[in-house]
Structure 1
Amino acid sequence: MLISLLEIVYMLITTAVIAYIFMDYIKLPTAFFQKPKFDWNNFKFAALVAAPGIILHELSHKFTAMGFGYEATFNIFLFGLFLGIFLKWIKSPFIILAPGYVAIMGAQIGIQNSIIAFAGPFVNLVLWLGSWLILNKSHKLKRKTALFLYLTKQINMILFIFNMIPIPPFDGYQVLSGLIRLF
């Protein structure tokens, strides 16, 4: 099975938590002038902007591992989700977000480990550069579309750079480790 029902539930929970965390940072232009309250439009906009980079990142790890013949499952990381919510509640100026991970059964060897590890950040790189390219080549974007692309670009740039840091537990460490084992 490509994706189990439980994984779909985990992705929906992850998306909802990401949207909740980001909805006060990522607002539609009209929302800046509204009284503070739960705004479903900001929630949906935050989900559309922030969640794809995270969910697609993890699914890329999963499907790449499956392509090599491994069993891979998307899981939520409750501590990471609750840490993100807690930081929002205390109005932290920064966000630490580790909402989920892909458990891969079996030992990946050398270059396979590097490819599986790089698959997630590669999605962020594509979303970052794709958004950047559209923003720079399209001159008649609607304001909401331009905002969506700008925020998608920024979030995925940060996710790519952050995930490629070559220290444990980041993907960059797994990429580098696999490449070193290759030689």
Structure 2
Amino acid sequence: MYTGRDFSAMYFILPIVMVGVGLGFILHELGHKFSAMHFGYWSEYQLWPVGLIIALASSFCGIVFAAPGAVYTYANFLDDRTNGIISIAGPVVNIVLAIIFLLIAAAVYPMAFFSQTMQIIFLVCSLGFTINSYLATFNLIPIWNLDGSKVLRWNGLIWIVTIAISGIMTYLSMTVGVEGIIKILIG
């Protein structure tokens, strides 16, 4: 998606994108798992190979529909509150991770003009912010079996607040850009 279908650029951009995607995806799923464990439930990740293929294929079309699997919580009965808390854990992890990436990007931004290493760190963090903002927003859509449907069923106000935060972050990353956000933040 970020290479403009230039396959030679993929060798450069893939490792950079994988930091944001890899951390975002793994930590999102671990957020669900540890939340379920907090409530005493067994949970585990299950791969959905069709979803992995869809994610890869859709990335070549300029938009990513990523659903390569999910953490499943095993319980005889799971009330809406507990299910909502377990479900919101993943998007909250993505929001926090996006903010961490933004703070690191802001910290290295002045040095990125003078150092190629800092430029790469800034790029990794910029993409990490954008990717994790998007992952949170996407997962909070209240459809099908996405986290948003379970959070909304539990508590509409919490759903509105979290999707507003992630939605604003996603919107800003796609319109103003991370460099623009940093310039606004530091004045």
Which TM-score applies when normalising by structure 1? Answer: 0.71
Q: Does residue 94 of structure 1 match 2:38?
A: no
> In the aligned structure 1, how far is the partner of 2:86 from the partner of 2:17?
28
- Using the TM superposition, give the Cα deviation of residue 36 of structure 1 relative to its aligned residue in structure 2, in angstroms: 2.8
> In the aligned structure 1, how far is the partner of 2:3 from the partner of 2:111?
22
SS in 1 for 2:155: helix
AA in 2 matched with 1:113: N
Deviations 1:3-38 (A, max 9, x none): xxxxxxxxxxxxxxxxxxxxx6269xxxx8xx7387
AA in 1 matched with 2:55: G
Which position in structure 2 is the counterpart of 1:19?
none
Unpaired segments ≥5 residues, structure 1: 1-23
Which position in structure 1 is the counterpart of 2:115?
none
- Using the TM superposition, give the Cα deviation of residue 98 of structure 1 relative to its aligned residue in structure 2, in angstroms: 0.5
Deviations 1:75-117 (A, max 9, x none): 11111001123334xx312111111101111132132111100
Which position in structure 2 is the counterpart of 1:50?
21
Q: Retained in 1: the 8 A contact 2:105–2:122?
A: yes
- Using the TM superposition, give the Cα deviation of residue 132 of structure 1 relative to its aligned residue in structure 2, in angstroms: 1.7
Q: Does residue 148 of structure 1 match 2:120?
A: no
CA RMSD in angstroms, aligned pairs only: 2.3
Which TM-score applies when normalising by structure 2? Answer: 0.70
> In the aligned structure 2, how far is the partner of 1:37 from the partner of 1:152?
18
Larger relative helix fraction: 2
Aligned match for 2:136, one of 154, 157, 160 = 160
Q: Does residue 108 of structure 1 match 2:78?
A: yes
SS in 2 for 1:140: helix
Which position in structure 2 is the counterpart of 1:117?
87
Q: Identity across aligned pairs (percent)? A: 32
Aligned match for 1:169, one of 145, 149, 153 = 145
- Using the TM superposition, give the Cα deviation of residue 60 of structure 1 relative to its aligned residue in structure 2, in angstroms: 0.8
Unpaired segments ≥5 residues, structure 2: 113-117, 157-187
SS in 2 for 1:168: coil
Aligned match for 2:46, one of 75, 93, 97 = 75
